[in-house]
Amino acid sequence: MKRRNFVKKTVLSSMATIIGADIVFGSIMPKGYLPLVLQQDPYKMFDKDNGMEVLNDKPWNIEAKAHLLDDKITPNRYMFIRNNGLIPSSIDASKWTLTINGESVKQQKTYSLEELKSKFKQYTYQLTLECGGNGRSEFDPPAKGNQWTVGAVSCAEWTGVRLRDILEDVGITDDAVYIGYHAADTHLSGDPKKEPISRGVPIAKALQEETLLAFKMNGKDIPLAHGYPLRLVAGGWPASASGKWVNRISIRDKVHDGTKMTGTAYRVPCESVAPGDKVKDEDMCIIESMPVKSLITYPKSGAMINKGKKLNIRGHAWAGELEVTKMEYSIDFGATWKECPLEKPLNRLAWHHFSASIDFPKKGYYEVWARATDSNGISQPMVLPGWNPKGYLNNACHRIAVKVK
Ligand SMILES: Nc1nc2c(c(=O)[nH]1)N[C@H]1C(S)=C(S)[C@@H](COP(=O)(O)O)O[C@H]1N2
Ligand SMILES: [Mo]
């Protein structure tokens, strides 16, 4: 009998490394066969645009590019994915429940998804979600973690019920100070006792009108990668506070101490430090409202125009809990600035839109820099802001290159 042509041992072991497990019957796997798990195409799997950048596949972390974020309301195909663990598989929404427990509830209560939808009034808000680590790639000394450039931000439309209404129904006690979410994703180690992430927000943020337990994104069921079937959405704060696949929320009588609430995770030095400095644990503060920032989403960096033509630019600006009150651009590396029109968002915590029509004095290379100012009068820095160990909160001005021919 003729032997089949089997895959080489060396190829097998490198496949096993990628998969993270031995291919048990690998020795009889036909040559040239690609195991299914390696065939996964993230663009198809998550319904993302091919221009998105995969930063990591275990866990999946995918970012947009500035020019892909041009829509006023971010569609799924341009929405970044940030995971700390493995996306839950086989979710049955008809069996999904949300439990509210913790030290500061009068009594624990569990709701089915159907109950949440029928018992409480539904609201829709457009909410900005930016990863605390967006812009990390520019820090020096470099910070470990996904090397986000500018694309870990989105502003989709979320529909759900107010967390406030649920907590009122449950009954919380006066000593409540924080909430912490728990979710159905799996720790990278596979250990079911470990949570990939369990963060939260102070009770005041939890009780805000716009803080939702959402079951819809842009009018449809939330895509699996973004938290189907139930997600906490706390706009304007680091998106890590917006738990995906949420099945339990604890009402805490102290600052929530779940995974990634302590150490250098989503915390920055309370007072600025020199780049590379070691910072004591007690000198680290939890990131709350995100800083003022903006993005030029049209044109794409590298645009070319003919002399005498105006360049139309547009983009978005946001400022965490605050409003954006001024938007400016510069074509001379920040020496002078011109104000440009700013369009108000639909609701609080959504990004604002700006546009401008720019004249260039002569042929040559230019950069267009954009700078937003928040309602406290704070503007984006032109260069990298305060270094911190994990490279959070880089809100330096966004720039695009332009050539005038
Ligand atoms: N359960 C769970 N929720 C999570 C995460 C996660 O890994 N697991 N990542 C958080 C982080 S760090 C970010 S930035 C946002 C990303 O949301 P998105 O993937 O929908 O864009 O989800 C947050 N919620
Ligand atoms: Mo994040």
Tens of pLDDT, residues 306-365: 999 999 999 999 999 999 999 999 999 999 999 999 999 999 999 999 999 999 999 999
For residue 132, the one-letter residue type is G
Determine the residue of 56, 58, 80, 82 to mutate for testing ligand 1's pocket, defined as the one with the most ligand atoms within 8 A of the Cβ atom.
82
Pair of tokens at residue 155: 């502003």
Determine the residue of 83, 146, 228, 286 to mutate for testing ligand 1's pocket, defined as the one with the most ligand atoms within 8 A of the Cβ atom.
83
- Mean pLDDT over 135-144 rounds to 93
Nearest listed ligand to the Cα of residue 62? 1
Determine the residue of 63, 77, 197, 230 to mutate for testing ligand 1's pocket, defined as the one with the most ligand atoms within 8 A of the Cβ atom.
197
CA dist 128 and 131 (Å) reads: 10
Q: What is the dihedral of CA 83, 87, 93, 95, to 10 degrees?
A: -110
Determine the residue of 58, 60, 62, 84 to mutate for testing ligand 1's pocket, defined as the one with the most ligand atoms within 8 A of the Cβ atom.
84
CA dist 213 and 162 (Å) reads: 6
CA dist 207 and 198 (Å) reads: 19
CA dist 146 and 134 (Å) reads: 9
51 confidence band (pLDDT: 50, 70, 90): very high
* Residue 112 contacts residue 97 (beta carbons within 8 Å): yes
Which residue in 368, 307, 373 sits closest to 66, CA to CA? 368
CA dist 292 and 393 (Å) reads: 10
Nearest-atom number in ligand 1 for the CA of 81 is 19
Which residue in 366, 382, 384, 385 sits closest to 301, CA to CA? 366
CA dist 372 and 378 (Å) reads: 8
pLDDT digits (tens, 9 = 90+) for 187-246: 999 999 999 999 999 999 999 999 999 999 999 999 999 999 999 999 999 999 999 999
The reply to whether ligand 1 has any atom less than 6 angstroms from the CB of 232 is no
- Mean pLDDT over 260-269 rounds to 96
The reply to whether ligand 1 has any atom less than 6 angstroms from the CB of 231 is no
* Residue 377 contacts residue 365 (beta carbons within 8 Å): no
More confident residue, 21 or 404: 404
Q: Given this model, what pLDDT does residue 401 score?
A: 98
Nearest listed ligand to the Cα of residue 247? 1
- Whole-number Å distance, alpha carbon 95 to ligand 1 midpoint, is 22
Q: Given this model, what pLDDT does residue 4 score?
A: 63
Strand pairing of 311-318 and 352-358? antiparallel
Pair of tokens at residue 396: 């330096």
- Mean pLDDT over 132-150 rounds to 95
Q: Which of 7-21, 165-179, 259-273, 298-312 has the lowest mean pLDDT?
A: 7-21
- Ion ligand 2 nearby residues (CB, 5 A): 82, 131, 240
Pair of tokens at residue 145: 């973690």
DSSP lists the bridge partners of residue 358 as: 311
Note the maximum CA span of the chain.
81
Instruction: Determine the 3-state secondary structure of 180 from DSSP.
Output: strand
pTM reported for the whole predicted model? 0.91
The reply to whether ligand 1 has any atom less than 6 angstroms from the CB of 131 is yes
Nearest listed ligand to the Cα of residue 222? 1
The reply to whether ligand 1 has any atom less than 6 angstroms from the CB of 183 is yes
1 confidence band (pLDDT: 50, 70, 90): very low
* Residue 297 contacts residue 316 (beta carbons within 8 Å): yes
Handedness of CA 378, 383, 387, 391 (dihedral sign): positive
- Whole-number Å distance, alpha carbon 62 to ligand 2 midpoint, is 11
The reply to whether ligand 1 has any atom less than 6 angstroms from the CB of 81 is yes
Residue pointed to by tokens 């009150």: 325
For ligand 1, atom 17: residue with the closest CA: 82
pLDDT digits (tens, 9 = 90+) for 271-285: 999 998 999 999 999
Instruction: Determine the 3-state secondary structure of 204 from DSSP.
Output: helix
pLDDT digits (tens, 9 = 90+) for 9-35: 888 888 888 788 889 998 888 887 878
Question: Is residue 74 pLDDT above 60, yes or no?
Answer: yes
* Residue 245 contacts residue 228 (beta carbons within 8 Å): yes
Helix residue ranges, H only, 20-111: 36-39, 42-45
For residue 277, the one-letter residue type is D
Nearest listed ligand to the Cα of residue 198? 1
- Whole-number Å distance, alpha carbon 239 to ligand 2 midpoint, is 5
pLDDT digits (tens, 9 = 90+) for 81-121: 999 999 998 899 999 999 999 999 999 999 999 999 999 99
Q: Given this model, what pLDDT does residue 3 score?
A: 53
**Bond before 229 cis per omega within 30 degrees:** yes
Question: Is residue 184 pLDDT above 60, yes or no?
Answer: yes
Nearest-atom number in ligand 1 for the CA of 244 is 3
Angle at 244 between CA 243 and CA 246, to 5 degrees: 80
Strand pairing of 97-101 and 246-252? parallel
The reply to whether ligand 1 has any atom less than 6 angstroms from the CB of 245 is yes
